[in-house]
Structure 1
Amino acid sequence: MANPPQVFATESAEAFVEEGHGGAPTHVEPELLGLAPFQWVSIAMLILFLIAFFGAKVHKTIAGGLDGRIAAIKEQLDEAKALRHEAETLRDEYAKRIASAEKDAETMLETARHEAETILAKAEADGQAMVERRQRMAEDKIAAAEREAIADVRNRAAIAATAASRKLIAEKHDAEADKALADQLIAGI
């Protein structure tokens, strides 16, 4: 095992200990020119800041940076206001366009309905007229067929009558009847 270090009390260590309250020893901090170490650090920092602020004109740089930042923020705000105004203008324009488009759509729908009703009425009228024309054509065809049938019946009847009269004349009419008929006609003239 290693030997632990031994601490020996010396007279110099006792110099830092003073008799305090009630006889208890207290620890005394080292001092230089009557100032404690933390006070020296504070003074050194103050001197450093004063040199940096006044010697290097840091305050002008900081102020210039802040002014530049303020100017940039103002420019961004102005740009944002302009963009907002432009967006509101576009929104209003598109709202008008939408309203106009809705009105146009309603007008177009009403016009389409009216045209559909007109076309339907015309189609009904045309259909009715076509039915009447077809009915007349059918009636005309029937009448023509009836006339043809009547004419055909008349022609057949005439042919049959002529044939029957020839046959009757041939059977019942002889030379003497011809002579009497010829005499009668001559006398009538």
Structure 2
Amino acid sequence: MKRSLIASTAGLALSAAPAMAATGPFFTMLNTNFVMLIGFIVFIAVLMYFRVPSMLMAMLDRRAAGIRSDLDEARALREEAQTLLASYERKQTEMKEQADRIVAHARDEARASAEAAKADLKDSIARRLQAADEQIASAEAAAVRSVRDRAVQVAVAAAGEVLAKQMDQKRGSDMIDQSIGTVETRLH
């Protein structure tokens, strides 16, 4: 118990020492507030002597200038990026329009080619039909000639047989004389 009483008394004495030091006359070296004020004034004087505030201000100004230049550079880069983006978007639009024109032109050419192919096919079919009609007409004419020639041959053969059966020597001589006379009258 004695120890705890001593410890508590020592703790109170030590804790009350700064408060008691500040009591009494202010302009004495025993007053901690006065000592702290003198130390602070000396510290400020040393800072002023070595021009620390102007160095701090210069450092802050350089830092501010660096930040300002970084911001300006960032703005310039942003504007450049926006310009490039606009340029690429414009180029993309132009390329899309050009691709659309190419596709439309290709479609038009395909339609024209298809129509030309249809017209050529119609012409080709018409020519082939005409050639087929001509071949049919030629074949019919050849068949008619062949039939006529065969009919003439058959008629000549039949007439020859009929004349051969009906004709005798005297009648043959009379016909030859008559033919010679007809030729003479026609030649003169």
TM-score, reference length from structure 2? 0.69
What letter corresponds to residue 147 of structure 1 in structure 2? A
SS in 2 for 1:7: helix
* Aligned residue type for 1:118: A
Shift of 1:61: 3.5
Change (3 A) 1:71 1:8: closer
Q: Quick one: which of 30, 36, 40 aligns to 1:34?
A: 30
**Aligned amino acid, residue 112 of structure 1:** A
Q: Percent identity?
A: 29
1:186 partner amino acid: I
Q: How does 1:142-161 map to 2 (within 5 A)?
A: 142-161=136-155
After TM superposition, list the pairs within 5 Å mapping 1:85-124 onto structure 2.
85-124=79-118
The whole-number CA distance in structure 2 between the counterparts of 1:28 and 1:145 is: 147
Q: Of 64, 68, 74, which residue of structure 2 is paired with 1:80?
A: 74
CA distance in structure 2 between the partners assigned to 1:8 and 1:135 by the alignment: 137
Aligned residue for 2:125, secondary structure, equals helix
- Gaps (5+ residues) in structure 2? 22-27
- 1:133/1:181 Cα in 2 relative to 1: closer, same or farther (>3 Å)? same
May I ask how many residue pairs the two structures share in their alignment?
A: 171
Are the structure 2 counterparts of residues 163 and 42 from structure 1 closer, same or farther at C-alpha, using a change threshold of 3 Å?
farther
Provide the residue aligned with 1:67 in structure 2: 61
Name the residue aligned to 2:166.
172
Q: 2-side partners of 1:118 and 1:134: how far apart?
A: 24
Q: 1:8 to 1:75 in 2, by over 3 A?
A: closer
**For the residues of structure 2 that align with 1:146 and 1:8, how far apart are their CA atoms?**
152
1:175 CA drift (Å): 1.6
The CA distance in 1 between the partners of 2:173 and 2:81, in whole Å, is: 127
User: After the TM superposition, which of the residue ranges 152-161 and 41-50 deviates more from structure 2?
Assistant: 41-50
| Structure 1: distance between partners of 2:88 and 2:4 | 93
In the alignment, the residues of structure 2 paired with residue 163 and residue 138 of structure 1 have an alpha-carbon distance, to the nearest angstrom, of: 36
User: Under a length normalisation based on structure 1, what TM-score does the superposition of the two structures give?
Assistant: 0.69
RMSD: 3.5
Show CA shifts across 1:11-32 (max 9, x none).
xx79x87xxxxxxxxx741639
| Cα distance between partner residues in 2 of 1:8 and 1:110 | 104
Q: Note if contact 2:29-2:35 (Cα within 8 Å) is conserved in structure 1.
A: no
| Structure 1: tracts of 5 or more residues without a match | 18-26
* Counterpart amino acid of residue 44 in structure 2: L
What residue is the counterpart of 1:21 in the other structure?
none
Q: Which amino acid aligns with 2:131?
A: M
